[in-house]
Amino acid sequence: MNAESFLKQRLLCIAVVDDPDAAVPLAEALLAGGLKTMEIPFRTAAAAESIKRIRRKFSEMAIGAGTLLAVEQVQRAMDAGAQFGVAPGLNEAVLQAARECHLPFFPGVMTPTEIDRALNLGWKHLKFFPAEPAGGVAMLQALAAPFAHTGVQFIPTGSITTATLADYLALPQVAAIGGSWMAGRKLVAEKAWSKITALTAEALKIVAQTQNKTGRTKKFHPAC
């Protein structure tokens, strides 16, 4: 599968998992809310095992590994069954490892220089992080303008909520939104599965309303 295939729903749930026993019910809660794409960051010792369990249980759930900061983590993510990778920054060694493993990848950028470098390296689906602290919708709109003709697409992530979701989705260069509010660490720890399902369904409703309002269907461009 290529990068854009994971962004069709225009929403990516980012969930930090501390206990691998929570992985399967978490994925089940997201699926119940209608979402079929999630990312588990490599921020805890439970990440790889959680990805492995979800892949084993739910073939319909596309799952990626986030916060990949080192080359060895790329291989660990692949071994666990991750279908795509995400990083908060632009680590060229990590990107090369992902390319060699044929792992679709979303590197993180926040400045024009980083966007330019990512494009020159052949990556066109970029995580804009941290979205809100970096200036939010206005900042991304300004950043995207001089690169619009390149076909670059962004996945804004960082402090986005249901209140700002539609504003980001309205930008032509936004492929999808990454967010943790649907399955926050506390919600996962408390096993608040019904709440996670409700928040997920609410977010997807906003996605649908935004697309209906703009009358725009996402057009994806080939990417590594």
Place of tokens 């980012």: 14
Q: Which two tokens stand for residue 185?
A: 């660490």
Strands annotated E in the chain:
11-14, 37-41, 62-66, 84-86, 105-106, 108-109, 125-128, 153-156, 177-179
Q: What are phi and psi of 71, to 5 degrees?
A: -55, -45
- Distance of alpha carbon 137 from alpha carbon 177, whole angstroms: 12
- Distance of alpha carbon 163 from alpha carbon 121, whole angstroms: 34
**Residue 94 CB contacts under 8 Å (≥ 6 apart), including other chains:** 68, 69, 70, 71, 73, 74, 87, 107
> For residue 96, what are the CA distances in angstroms to 83, 91, 93, 102, 189?
16, 9, 5, 10, 35
Residues with a catalytic annotation lie at 39, 127
**Residue 222 CB contacts under 8 Å (≥ 6 apart), including other chains:** 2, 124
